Structure formats: structure tokens, C-alpha cells
Chain A
Amino acid sequence: MQGWVTLALLLSLGVKRSLAQNGLGEPRGLTLNPDLPAQTLSLAWQSDSTLFDLEIFHTEFMNVVLNATVEVQADPVTGLHSWTWHSPLPLECTSHSVRIRARNQQSVSQWSPLQTIPGWDIPEKSYMFPEDKMIPVGSNMTFCCIVNEKEDFKEIKYGRQEMKATRLSRRSYAITVTNQPASDNTGTNVICSSQKFQMLTGTVVFVGYPPGDEGLVCETRDLASAECSWKKGRDTHLRIKQSLTNYTLNGRDCLEANERKTWCSSKMWEENWTLEARNPLGTVQLTDSAQLTDRVHLLAPVNVAAVKVEAWSATLQWSWSVAAYKKLEMVCQLRLFAHELSSTRNYDGPGLSSVVLEGLWPDVDYTVTLRCGSKHSFWKWGDESAPYRIHTKMDRPDALDVWMWMDSSNTGHVFWKPLSVRKSHGALNGYEVSQSSAEEDGRNTVSLPPGNFSYPILLNNSSDVTVAVAARNPAGLSQPSTVTTPAYRADSQLSVSELLGTNGSFVLSWEPNVSASSGYVVEWFPTGCTGLCPIDWKKLPESDRSFTVNSVYTTTACSLCAPLLISDSLVAGVRYTVSVYSLYTSAPTLLQRWQGYSQEMIPSQSVSELSLNQTGSDVLLSWKATEMKQQRGFIRGYTIYLASAAHLDLIANITDPAVQSYRVKGLTLSSYKFVVKAYTSAGEDAGATVAIKMEMDTADMLFVGILVPLGIMFCCIILFSIFFYKKREWVKKAFYPEIPGPKVSGDWSSPRGPLDVKPSPHSLVHIVKNPEWDFTKEGLFPVPEEEEESENDNMEVDTDSDEPALLRYYNQVVGDGSHSNQVSDSSASSTASMGSTQTEITYAGIQSPSSSQGAYSGGGYRPQMQSVTGPAEPQIEFEADFQDDGLNAGYKPQCSWQLDSPEAENFSGSLGSPTSVTSSQFLIPESSEEKPQPSNTWFHNFLSGKS
């Protein structure tokens, strides 16, 4: 055991010996000197070495905050080594400990004993550091919060922003804020809160900028002292009083300067000036250098007054508040303000204190202001005087611009233009118009009130009249302006040229006239105007050969212009008559006249009286042009459109405006709508519309409506006739077959001569007159003898017979009085007849079943009815028959062929035997070839080839 202890001692002694052998002694006397506001720690020690290792700890947790090797030379006087460390953390935040050792390459001495400066986390209170620090924008800074013993740390807020804190010691916490923005007015609050209190403690940091002032300029106002001013630069954001910018001018405090006032004065002028602006964050220096005479800034003139005011001039006086100005060579600027008459004038002289204002206008209110400056080495205009008002006196008006316009050979108006303010020289009282002629002595003078700008002229004879017009104001009468009546020339007497407007104006030029010794007058007015027209004119010197009438040409600058008399401008779409007169001693002579539009527009109205006239398939459109007022441009032609539902189809463009009709040819029968538009160079008008429905004319209608169908009908008849003629045999066979004669067995030949057939008494048909029977009622009716005779003139009739009428009535009504059935149905009457005991003829079983098929029903006589059809059918049948046969319709006993008439049957039957008068058809078989043949119709004859 003793051996081990001995070994350890020997080793220890060996190490010490080796260090001593290196010659590196331990630094001695380490002292720490903290500068809390500056956050610096100054170290001082004694040592023979120059290279040292340094270590700085946060004492409580022994966190190393600095471990560096520094070379520090000893102070030759004191022999102390000094080194200063800038702490990122306020030194109050926690205790700091320092140790140091000497180093020589790899050899080091022993560490010096730890030296500690205590932090503020030892007393039992809450603190926050640093306090009221002022730093530039963008800086980084570490804040620490020391909580008192019984509090639990919660958080640290920088403004409203919660920051992440690190623990420095048991009671100390720190945050580091980087790139800090500029503070508000009273700095940025950094607040430390505990679990118990939201505001345990806190501090304020002021983040801002150093001064940013610039542009120092010094000048003198009184030719002795100096006033220096500069521009305020960037806002420092430092509002705390101790951080406000301080200024010094050439080393002297400039107390009047502050954040708002950026000027400083000096009692004496110095040629070089230096302004220093300083705040806790920095300093800026501004310099200026100038001679006093180069920087004269005069004060404003005082006591400005007009001592003599005339119509055209005034004398202005003023004084100076600085006596030294009286010898200064100065220039003064006088500014005159008046309605439309503002001007600026400069005057110069030594110590200028009065000027004569020339070139003023009479009866005008002027406001005068004055400012002056040094004439030599002019620096800037001095302060301006207070405005001073001058009203000039009145003067006689200027001569009027007069013109005479004749609207007929002996009537006209003299016009004059209103005088402007510049020319009236005072409010006008009125006008005096005097009229004289060569044939009459003396002058007639008329006074007119100021609102008049024309006067009518009446020429009683052929001599020229000269009119003089003068304006009057309180100062007197103007020079009279004379004008002689020009000769009246109607447009019709002249070759009036067409004048095209150019950009809303007329550009005129004319040939020079040798007689125009007094120049020319260009006159323009709306064409067609009479009486008090808006006449305008412009007098031109004799050298002029051209003139432009502008739409903005203003005759005068007056507010009293009568709109009826003086036109201020050319109106678009209005035709103007423009004339050029030459002036000389006598009456003006008309040189040239034009008519034109300054700017053409489309017509405001469409063509009038648009009409059309149809001629066959052509339509003639005709119209009349609109009135000149509505034309609003020269009519260049007309366009004609055919309007459809959706668009207009151009069918003609008439480029000659004199042509006011157009023929549209070859129209078919339909409805048409035509639109006619007049056009100017500006375009077409809206158009007038006319519509027509094409119809055939009378001749066509006659031809087409009557003759053509008639012709076709005749052609058909002829064709049918030819056809039937050619095929008459076939037709005859088809429709009128030969009726075979009765085949009689035995000798039924009768002797030659008349055969009197006396009907059996049983065959008599008793005619029962029915007084109620109406002719209009349907039914069978007796055939008059005359008719029968006339219709059957080829039939042999026994006129001598005593009972001639007995056979004239076939199946006549004798029945039960149901006339309708009887009339409508011949078979019915036959039935009635059958029922009658007085009828000897019995038909039953004779008529073939098909011959009377289908037509008859109902009661009464039905000799050949084989089938019973519906009750309605007979009625229909009858009606058809009735219509066909008309009044001639009679008994149709057994034949279904409609062409047969009872008489025909009768006669046919009687051809063979008079006894068969009742009917022959019932004897004929159903076969068509054996049907009875009518004997007396034209058709029958035709078919038979009889003529």
C-alpha cells in the first residue's frame, strides 16, 4: 500500500516537473470587468505567454459558451494581458465563469482558477434583459427572462409572437430574435409570463434606422444671416425621446430642428456648411458650400398698390421690409390674372419698387401678384406678394365687323358681329345705324339696344345704300363701319358649284380679282334660309386667295352672340351657300358661289310618294326626292331592293339622282315588297317600302279564265263527237240495241186502214182529281196534250177518237193519296195502279226480274219490282232523275235506263201496236239488245244516222 502511494507522488512530481520544464506558467491574477449595457466582458491577467486558451461558461449549468485560443500581447506598461468578449446574451441573464491557460503550440499550462461574475438570477425577483435597447432594423438579439423563485416559467412573447425559449439556469430563460423589424411608436414589447401571471415581467426594444436626412441647402433672406434646410429622409422609427435625431450645424446645436422642422438658422453667413444628424443608431453628415450672393432668396414685397390706373396702363408701387434690398440688383416678375387675359411680365432694376404696367385692356379686372429675385446669380424667386386688384378705365369700342346680306333685290339685312371684351372696352350701351344713299341727301340714324346685331334694309330705288354702324359705351362711340348693299343674285342666276366638305370644313379658293382693292368677304349661310338667317362672314385681305371655313371657326369670343344671327360653326348635314365677294370702294361684287355640306349625313327621311304601277308582269316604281332639309347631303342616287323576309336584295342602283322611277320587269304572279333608298356620300337612308301582289290583267284573265276552258271544252266535244261518230255502231249496240219486233204466231195481220182500238172498259184509267195535289209535290203528273203533241209530232194520233185521253195517263195517281211516295217512286204509282180494279193491264210476271232491279220500294203499284231495297234509295234515285230530266220527267215505268222517257217508251211501244201504249218495255227481254229504242231524240237520230 505504501508502495502505491509513493508511486503516485512520484508521478505527480514528474508531471509538475515536465510542465515547469516547458516554461508555461499558469496565467495569474485573472480579473473580469463586465460592461452590462454593452454586453461585454473584459478579461485581464498576467502571464509570460502570448497565446492563451479561453473558456467561458454559464456558471450554473456549466455550459461552454466560448472555447477559443487567442493571442494577446502584454501591455508594455502594466504587463497585463487584456481581452474583451462581446456576449450575445446580456450578462445579467445568468452568471458567467471564465478560466484561462497559456499555450505554446501543443504545450499548455494549467487552467487558471474560475472567475465568475454573478447574474441577476440570484436575487428573488423577476427581471428581463436587455432593457430599452436600441438596435438597427434587421438585427439579431437575445432576450432573457429571470423568473422569481416561486414562479413557473410559461413563455416569452416578442410583440404578439410567441418565441421558443431555452433555459440558461434554474430561473433564467432566453429567446433569440433574428432580423427584427422596425418598432412601433413606443418600441416593441417583449413580455415574459409565468403560469400564474400573463405579465410577469418584460422589456422594450427599439428597432429603427439611423438618420436618413439629405439635401442640405443654405440661403440668405436678409443678405446677412443664413437659413439651412434639408429633406427628411427615411423614418427612423425611433419615437422615444432619447433616441430622436439631434442636429448640429457647423458644430452648433440646432435646437429648432426636429422630426418635423428640417431647417436651421445661423446669424452669419459662412461659405461652408456641415449638418450632422445623429441618433443612437448612427450619424449622417450633410454639407453645402456657396457665396452669399449666390443664395439670395428675397422676402415678399409689401404694401403693393396701384398709384395711377388708366384704360390701357397702370402704375404699381411696393416697398421692402429689408433695407439691404434697396441696393440689390433685382428682377421682379409681375403676374396679371384676368378673365382670358392672364400674362406674366418681368421688370428689373436696383431695389425695384415700382413699375408701369403697359398693354392693359380697358374696363378689365386684373389681379396682380409680384415676386422678385436677385438679378445676378439668380438663385430662386422670392416669396410672392399678396394679390392686388386693379380695374382699368373704359375706352371707346373698336369698330364693328359689318356685312350686308340681301335676300331679295330690294330687301336685306345689315349684320354686325358682337364685340368681345377686348374690343368693347366697356359694357356697350347700344348701336347706332345710319343709312344713306347717293340719291338722297342726309343720313337716317337709328339707335339700337345692345342686344341687336342686325338691322333690316329696304331699297326703294335702284341706287346703292351705304349703311354705317357704330357701337356705343359710356366712354364714347366707336368708329363707324360702313358697308354698301351688294347686288342681289339669286342662286338661279348663277352657276352654283357643288362644294365638298373636308373634315367638317370648307376649303375655298378663288381666282384673284383686280377690283378687290379692299379685300374679300367670304359669306356662308344655310341654303334656302330667308329673313334673319344665321349669316356668317369673314373679311380677308386682298392678298388672300383661299379660306377655310371650319366647323369650329368662331367669329368672336363673346358670350352675347345671338344664335339666330351668327353661326359659330358649321352644322353637319346642313347645306350651306358660300359666296365670295370682292370689296372695293363701291358695293361688294359677287365673285363665286358654292353650295355644299361641311359633313354629309344620310338622309333623315326616305323618299316620298313612293308608288308602283303594274303593267303586265312589269312594275313601275316611282318616287319623289325628300326635301332639301331632310337630304342632309347631296343625293347621289337611289338603290332599289327587293325585300324578302330576312334580307334585302339589291335589284338596281340608280346613280342619277334625277331619275326617280324604275321598272322592274318579268315578275311572276306573287307578292313583292320593294324598298327604295336614297343615298348620299354618307350612306343610304332607312328606305321607303311599297308592296304589290301581282295579278293578271283583264285581257289575260279573259283569255285564261274563259276562252281557254271554253276552247278545251269544245275540243273535247269535238273529239267526243268524232269518236262517237266513228263508233256510232258500237255505241248504238251498246246503248240502244234494236228492239226486236213481236213475234206473233198465227195471222195477226190487220187490215189496212185505221184500227180503232177501243180500250176495254176495264182498261180505262180513271183520273181522280185530287184537289190537294200540288205541283211542287213529288209525284206523277199528267202530261199536257200540247206537250205531248209537240214532242211526239211524228206519232200518229187518232184525233177523232172520242176517248182520246184515256191512254194519256199511265200509272197516274189514283191511289191512296200518299203523293210523296207516288211521286218519288214510279213503281209505287204502278202498285197503286195495280191495286186499282179499273186497270186492266196486268204486268206481274211479264217484266224480267232484272229490268226493274233495285229502285223501288214501298206500297203502290210495283209491276216489275223484283227486289226490295232500302227505303232511302228510291228517294235518291228520284232526285237524280228529277234533276236530269227536269220538267220533262215523266213516268219511267219499267226501264232502268235513264234516258228513256215514258213518252219515248210509249211511242216506241206504239210503233208496233197502239195497243201496247201502256208499255212496250215490259215485253222486252232483259238483254240489252232488245231494249226499246227511243224514236224521236236527236241523239237517237244521231246514233241512227238520221239527220
Chain B
Amino acid sequence: MAGRGTNGRHGSRGHAGRTAALARLLHKECIQLLELYRNSESLPSSPVDGGYLVSIPPLVPQLSDAEKISILHAALKECLRLLEDVITREDAEFSDEDSEYKRKWKTVRDRLGHLLASTEQLLVEGQKFEAKVKEELDGQAVSGSFRLKMWIVRVLQDLVHWTGQTSDTLRSLPAEVEKAPKTMSRRTRRGAEKIRK
């Protein structure tokens, strides 16, 4: 039933709808990935302290939807970088053994790449936002396998958080945003900025 509703919405909202669906799917898969990792490592289900690794400007209501998407796009981009870093570090630390967790890693990585490509089409041309990573693994004072594992958990927590944020934002996107992707004329954009002001 949910699927039918979603499809209907996709039909009415086109690309933004498809992107929202992709974000929602990715969000679920990130949750599954985090669960798989916690189970395989016998880790407690509570979140690791320290907040999110990726930080962005606050998504205040004054921001337009397109700006919000741009900011989230930047956050997701950092998430992808962290994720690839995690995969590389894991492969470096541990032997490459096939497991459901590893397969899920690759699925999430690929789908996150698709989501980034999809949200990129919704961005407003000229506007560029940066997301920052508060902590890098290499910069930590004490290294060790446990630290790496905690950092992986934090990356996964970030993935869950930012894909969830993106999914929610895309879902609440009005139809007008879809009409104003990159092809939107500058006049329209200016008008939109004016309205915001």
C-alpha cells in the first residue's frame, strides 16, 4: 500500500519524487547496515557519543528548499567520502572476507552515489555549500582497532542521520521545486530569492 502511494506521488512529482524515494530507500539500508555492524561486533545499540562527524549550517526555516537540498547534498557528499574511507581502512585492517555486512557496505555506497547524482539535478546553480567533518580518524590521538570500530559506527550513524534528513526534506518538497532545477531561468531564481528576502 505504501508502495502504491509512493508511486502515485512519484508520478505527480517526477524527478524529485524519485529522488525522495531513493533517499528513503537508502535511509532504510543505512539503518540495516548499522544494525548488521552492531550485531557482528556485539556492540550495544545505543549511539556512540560524540555527535555527528559531518556538520553543516543549520537548516533554518528561512532557507529555501533548494538551499536545504544543496546543504544536505554537501553533507551526503562528505558521508560518501567517509564511507569510502571506512571501506578502505577496513580492508586494510582486516582480511577481505565476504559477508552480508560487506555486501551491504557496497550497496549503500553505490546507492549513495546515485542519490548524490540525483539530488545534484535539484540544486540551484551557483549556490555552493560546504559541509565539514569535525573529526577525522587519522587525526585521533589514540589509534587502535576499537577506535576504528567506533569511528565506523559514527560514520554509519551519520549516514543514517543525513540520509534521513535528505529523505524528509525531499518528501516535503513542494512541486514548484521540481519545476526549477538547473534549467530554471535566472529571473525565476531571482524572483525566488526576492521572495525569500
Q: Which residues of A contact B (CB under 8 A)?
A: 127-128, 131-132, 159-160, 184-187, 189, 191, 193, 197-199, 201-204, 239-241, 244, 259
Interface assignment of B144: CB less than 8 Å from any CB of chain A: yes
Q: Is the CB of B94 within 8 A of A186?
A: yes
In B1-47, the 8 Å CB interface with A consists of: 40-46
Q: Which residues of B contact A (CB under 8 A)?
A: 40-46, 48-49, 92-95, 97, 99, 142, 144-146, 149-150
The minimal Cβ–Cβ distance linking B196 to chain A, given in whole angstroms, is 41
Q: Is the CB of A132 within 8 A of B144?
A: yes
Assembled-state Cα–Cα distance A204/B144 (Å): 8
Partner of B94, one of A127, A189, A239: A239
B97 — which chain A residues lie within 8 A by C-beta? 185, 239
Chain B residue with the shortest CB-CB distance to A128: B146
Assembled-state Cα–Cα distance A199/B99 (Å): 25
Q: Is the CB of A187 within 8 A of B44?
A: no
Instruction: Name the 4 nearest CB pairs between A and B, nearest first.
Output: A204-B145, A198-B44, A198-B46, A131-B144
Partner of A241, one of B41, B46, B92: B92
Given contact pairs A131-B144, A201-B146, a sample of 19 additional A-B residue pairs in the complex whose CB atoms are under 8 Å apart: A132-B146, A184-B40, A186-B41, A189-B42, A191-B43, A191-B44, A197-B46, A198-B45, A199-B43, A199-B44, A199-B48, A199-B49, A199-B150, A202-B149, A203-B145, A204-B144, A204-B145, A241-B92, A241-B93
B43 — which chain A residues lie within 8 A by C-beta? 189, 191, 199
Q: Is the CB of B42 within 8 A of A259?
A: no
Q: Is the CB of B44 within 8 A of A240?
A: no
A132 — which chain B residues lie within 8 A by C-beta? 144-146
Assembled-state Cα–Cα distance A159/B39 (Å): 11
Assembled-state Cα–Cα distance A618/B48 (Å): 110
Chain A residue with the shortest CB-CB distance to B91: A241
The DSSP consensus for interface residues of chain A is: loop
B45 — which chain A residues lie within 8 A by C-beta? 198
Known: A186-B94, A204-B145, A241-B93. A199 touches B41 (CB 8 A): no
The minimal Cβ–Cβ distance linking A32 to chain B, given in whole angstroms, is 23
Total A-B contacts with CB atoms under 8 angstroms apart: 66
Assembled-state Cα–Cα distance A593/B48 (Å): 100
Q: Is the CB of B94 within 8 A of A202?
A: no
B142 — which chain A residues lie within 8 A by C-beta? 127, 131
Assembled-state Cα–Cα distance A822/B46 (Å): 131
Assembled-state Cα–Cα distance A189/B94 (Å): 15
Chain B residue with the shortest CB-CB distance to A203: B146
Query: What are 24 A-B residue pairs whose CB atoms fall within 8 Å in the complex?
Result: A127-B142, A131-B144, A160-B42, A185-B94, A185-B95, A186-B40, A186-B145, A187-B145, A189-B42, A189-B146, A189-B149, A191-B44, A197-B46, A197-B49, A199-B46, A199-B48, A199-B150, A202-B146, A203-B144, A203-B146, A204-B145, A240-B95, A241-B95, A244-B95
A198 — which chain B residues lie within 8 A by C-beta? 44-46
Q: Chain A CB within 10 Å — which of B43, B99, B146 has the most? A: B146
B150 — which chain A residues lie within 8 A by C-beta? 199, 202
The minimal Cβ–Cβ distance linking B181 to chain A, given in whole angstroms, is 43
A127 — which chain B residues lie within 8 A by C-beta? 142
Assembled-state Cα–Cα distance A374/B44 (Å): 63
The minimal Cβ–Cβ distance linking A141 to chain B, given in whole angstroms, is 15
Chain A residue with the shortest CB-CB distance to B49: A197
Q: Is the CB of B94 within 8 A of A241?
A: yes
Chain B residue with the shortest CB-CB distance to A239: B95
A187 — which chain B residues lie within 8 A by C-beta? 145
Assembled-state Cα–Cα distance A239/B42 (Å): 17
A186 — which chain B residues lie within 8 A by C-beta? 40-41, 93-94, 145, 149
The minimal Cβ–Cβ distance linking A382 to chain B, given in whole angstroms, is 34
Assembled-state Cα–Cα distance A199/B42 (Å): 12
A259 — which chain B residues lie within 8 A by C-beta? 95
B149 — which chain A residues lie within 8 A by C-beta? 186, 189, 202, 204
The minimal Cβ–Cβ distance linking A206 to chain B, given in whole angstroms, is 8
Q: Is the CB of B41 within 8 A of A189?
A: yes
Assembled-state Cα–Cα distance A186/B150 (Å): 13
B42 — which chain A residues lie within 8 A by C-beta? 159-160, 189
Partner of A240, one of B49, B94, B146: B94
A131 — which chain B residues lie within 8 A by C-beta? 142, 144-146
